[in-house]
Every structure is written in C-alpha cells, then in structure tokens.
Structure 1
Amino acid sequence: QVRISHLRRQFQRDYDQTFTEEIFIVSHRFVSQGIPIYKIKDMMNDPIQGSFYASELQKVSKDEQIQWRTEKIIRKRKVRGKPEVLVRWLGWPKKFDSWIPEVDVKNI
C-alpha cells in the first residue's frame, strides 16, 4: 500500500504535506531501461491513470488502530434505533463516503 506525491507548487513549503491522504495499492511493477515503474489502483480496485516512479510513492503500513480524519459529516440517520452518520473522509474522493456509527466520531 502506498501514497502518491502531490505536484509541488512554486511557493509550497517543505512542511506542507507532500503525499496524498488516500492510500493506493500497487497493481503492477515493471522495469523500463533499468528503472522500476509502478501501476496503482485505488482501494476499490479502480485503476489510476498513468504510471509512477518509486520516488513518487510512499510506502504505508496498514495499522488497524489508526484513526482516520473526517472532512465533514454529510447526513445523519438511525438504523434500528442507533444513530449513524455519513462522513466524507479527509483527502479521499466522494466515492469513499461511508456510514459509520455516530459514537465512532470523535472531535479532536
């Protein structure tokens, strides 16, 4: 699992985050002129256009205890009397919006 680098802008600071929040999966690795090149797909197995050099990728170790940050709460509902919220995950596309129990949302 990897993150991909953002395109650097002219006045971007070094302390700004340089890799995406979204995590991708390496789907294919091949070598061209002695340089490894990678094809990646998102967590829903949709291929990402283009290919990436190793310097454009950051390896990510999967941690089950990680707390993902939310961008915003979109909607609320009750399922069998238990409140749930539809959240947009920070740095992830809309297709990854998901319903989670309201008690799992923490204000930080």
Structure 2
Amino acid sequence: MEHRTNNKTCAWWHRERFHDLRCLSRELDKREERAVPKTLVDQNGQDIEGSFYGEELQKTLHNDVYLIEKVVRKKRYKLLVKWLGLDKRHNSWIDKTDMV
C-alpha cells in the first residue's frame, strides 16, 4: 500500500489584513470559559461576512514589504499593481521607485 502525504492547504486562508476586531457579545465574566465570536472589518472599513473565533485568526506584525502578483498598467513614473493574494479591488498605483 502506497502512502501519500496530504498536500492540501486551507483555501480560505487570506493574505489580507483586517484592522478592526469587534466582539459580537458583551464582555464575558472572567469566570466563563466560552469562546466569543468576532466580526472583522477590512482595510476599507467593509464588514467581512460571517463571524470568527480567535483560534481561526492569526495575529501578524505589520509588514512594510508586500508581494506583487503582476503589474496591470504602467504610466511614466507609476505602476498599477495587483497584490498577491488579494482581489482586484485592492489594486493600487505605486511609484516605480517604491519597488524593491
């Protein structure tokens, strides 16, 4: 019998950062040990559909280097870029000098 490793990854894992975390319920009594679902708000202030538990979220440090998937358009000193792992609504213009 051949043994195969599971190479699947979580399709719902995103590179997008979420700035605002709001609890759906009031502050819990510290004696209660119950998970509290949270709602997320993206960088544009739009609510993310659904609710999430702390175990489903990963806290990360702010990173000043972002990965570019492709350059969509070029102007003289500017580039319209599509960011890796984000959809096209996050496309933005950057200065050519900002690319590393």
- TM norm structure 2: 0.74
Give the unaligned 5+ runs of structure 2: 1-5
Larger Rg, first or second structure (1 or 2): 2
**What number of residue pairs does the alignment pair up?**
89
Query: Which of residues 4, 8, 12 is equivalent to 2:8?
Result: 12
Residue 46 of structure 2 corresponds to 46
Give the unaligned 5+ runs of structure 1: 1-9
SS of the residue aligned with 1:48? coil
Residue 22 of structure 1 corresponds to 16
SS of the residue aligned with 2:58? strand
What is the alpha-carbon distance in structure 1 between the residues aligned to residue 55 and residue 95 of structure 2? 38
Residue 4 of structure 1 corresponds to none
SS of the residue aligned with 1:86? strand
Query: Which of residues 83, 86, 89 is equivalent to 1:89?
Result: 83
Percent identity between the two aligned chains: 29
Residue 71 of structure 1 corresponds to 69
Higher strand share: 1
What is the alpha-carbon distance in structure 2 between the residues aligned to residue 37 and residue 47 of structure 1? 14
- TM norm structure 1: 0.69
What is the alpha-carbon distance in structure 2 between the residues aligned to residue 18 and residue 49 of structure 1? 13
What is the alpha-carbon distance in structure 2 between the residues aligned to residue 76 and residue 28 of structure 1? 39
What is the alpha-carbon distance in structure 1 between the residues aligned to residue 70 and residue 53 of structure 2? 33
SS of the residue aligned with 1:52? coil
Shift of 1:17: 9.4
SS of the residue aligned with 2:89? helix
* Root-mean-square deviation over aligned CA pairs: 2.6
SS of the residue aligned with 1:22? coil
